[in-house]
Structure 1
Amino acid sequence: MLKFIADAEERACMTRILDLAERVLTKHEVAVSDFLEPRYTGLAKDILRGLPDLKFVFEGGHGEAERQRIVLFPGYLEPEDLKPQIGILKITGGRKFTALKHRDFLGALLGLGIRREKIGDILIGEQYCLTVVAQELTSYIAANLRQVGNVPVQVAPLSEIEPQFGREENFKQIKTTVASLRLDAVSSHGFSLSRSQMLEEIKDGKVKLNWKETTDPAKPVQKGDTISCRGRGRLIVEDVTGATKKGRVGIVLKRLL
């Protein structure tokens, strides 16, 4: 079933998913994965849909969730028979709260000893942040998260995320031109680094294209792609506007701050 997957990380992840499926089918119990990036959820969907007597759903906390858990269960059950496998936490703070960024919230959660795989999307609003986490860690985080950056915070569980929640100004739109749609050219503009600095980041394994690590600076980038750089955030290629009179390529980037 996995012979078409060449990437070692993808194969290892799908092996773990199939182990969960085997547990469901042999022990007739519900099993749940860690939070997965989109490239893994897409692969898992293709693999799991071919298994008889098995059902599965994705849980991410909201309709456009990027990171999701897969809940696998026997075919004789229905989704409404399942217990929730994610928790939603509302984080509020004082007047300095609006200066906090995505990396600050993530760093605070990791500082509690929580693995990244147990944390879903982090959505930042004007007055508060909503964080999706594994259900089994909800109470622990609510009881122990007291500070994000240098800002004291309060944490309370929520039952759901309001539609269209978010703070758009956490994104910075960048309109620029590049010599080519190479990964190093696009990402150096997006992350405000020199081309040589960006090359080092890529070669050091700090950059992912569409959630997959790459060390190839010449990797082509296209509209809709997501570029992330460890410690620097994430870029979305919103548009490629075409060639300019000087032979460069116009692009529109959206940077998560």
Structure 2
Amino acid sequence: MEIYQHFREEERPFIDQVLSLQSNVEMRYQRKETDFLDPREQYIFSSLMGSHPNLQWALFGGGNQAERKRAIVAPEYETIDDQDFSVCLLQTHYHDKFIHLEHRDVLGSFMSLGIKREKLGDLVVQDGLVQIVVADEVSDYIRMNFTSIKKANVQFEEKPLEELIESKEEWKTSDSTISSLRLDVLLKEVYGVSRKKASMFIEAGHVKVNFRTVENPSYPLEEGDLLSVRGKGRSRLMNVHGTTKKEKFKVTVAKLN
């Protein structure tokens, strides 16, 4: 099918899900809501939906700056508002003077509770506060069963989405010229390591592209790809501006401070 040519091979299952969703809504005239989608999945979803003549669609993740969002697809005669999305905000406090918690600690606790990542939206951990946007269908389960993170006793309670705080994360952007869009080449540039070291990180399974582990150093990157290296943080290939006369790529990259 021609549509697959515009995306990566490993993205076919998700493409099929979106196409099936379109067909289902068209045939049954009933709206459908997805789990939370990461930014790459949102890009694919939006590309496939486009200006579909028979359908309405929208994305929402709880706030204006949301990274992870749910999608709703509905018949063309319906309207979709933010309040239509099955998302809620849960919040808890912990004593940050005595316990240091990071994003990965909290997320790991959710995973150990058997909650799938697809049911969880954005997560903020700062100043003794944990906030997470979750799918409505798992909210009660979390509030009843999620009682500790590391050595911190916690009790989540639901809050209005308007109380969602913005993360203090800061991204620093820079312009670079690189020899290719290979994963190992960009890691070398962004994280200041040798290409050999970058390849070792990748082959050891310590690198993710768009939240999926990639173990191939020559993996080709595309504009908008989000990278994460274990212990070294996240970065993003923001823009590919074309090539120089020497056929090198002019790019803008961002790194999370």
Cα 1:23–1:222 change in 2 (3 A) is closer
What is the correspondence of 1:33-72 to structure 2 with a 5 Å cutoff?
33-72=34-73
Q: How many residues align?
A: 244
Gaps of 5+ in 2: 240-251
Residue in 1 that maps onto 2:126: 125
User: 1:56·1:70 contact (CA, 8 Å) conserved in 2?
Assistant: yes
TM superposition shift of 1:8: 2.8
What is the correspondence of 1:19-98 to structure 2 with a 5 Å cutoff?
19-80=20-81, 83-96=84-97
Residue in 1 that maps onto 2:246: none
User: 1:39·1:211 contact (CA, 8 Å) conserved in 2?
Assistant: no
Cα 1:109–1:16 change in 2 (3 A) is same
User: 1:91·1:156 contact (CA, 8 Å) conserved in 2?
Assistant: yes
What is the correspondence of 1:235-250 to structure 2 with a 5 Å cutoff?
235-236=235-236
User: 1:188·1:194 contact (CA, 8 Å) conserved in 2?
Assistant: yes
- CA deviations 1:165-219 (Å, max 9, x no partner) are 2234xx69799x9997864466468669776554233124442345565444356
Structure-2-length-normalised TM-score = 0.76
User: 1:88·1:161 contact (CA, 8 Å) conserved in 2?
Assistant: no
CA distance in 1, matches of 2:173, 2:20: 43
Aligned AA (1:144): N
Query: SS of the counterpart of 2:153?
Result: strand
Aligned AA (1:99): H
What is the correspondence of 1:210-229 to structure 2 with a 5 Å cutoff?
210-211=210-211, 214-217=214-217, 226-229=226-229
- CA deviations 1:126-151 (Å, max 9, x no partner) are 23121111121111111111111221
Residue in 2 that maps onto 1:142: 143
Residue in 1 that maps onto 2:249: none
Cα 1:151–1:183 change in 2 (3 A) is same
Aligned AA (2:41): Y
- CA deviations 1:42-90 (Å, max 9, x no partner) are 1211211243221111011111211111111122221149633212111
What do you get for the CA RMSD once the two structures are aligned? 3.8
What is the correspondence of 1:162-241 to structure 2 with a 5 Å cutoff?
162=163, 165-168=166-169, 183-184=183-184, 187=187, 196-211=196-211, 214-217=214-217, 226-229=226-229, 233-236=233-236
**Identical residues among aligned pairs (%):** 30
Higher mean C-alpha displacement, 102-111 vs 84-93: 84-93
CA distance in 2, matches of 1:24, 1:80: 18
Q: 2:81 matched to 1:99?
A: no
Residue in 2 that maps onto 1:244: none
Aligned AA (1:203): E
Residue in 2 that maps onto 1:15: 16
Gaps of 5+ in 1: 240-250
CA distance in 1, matches of 2:100, 2:71: 33
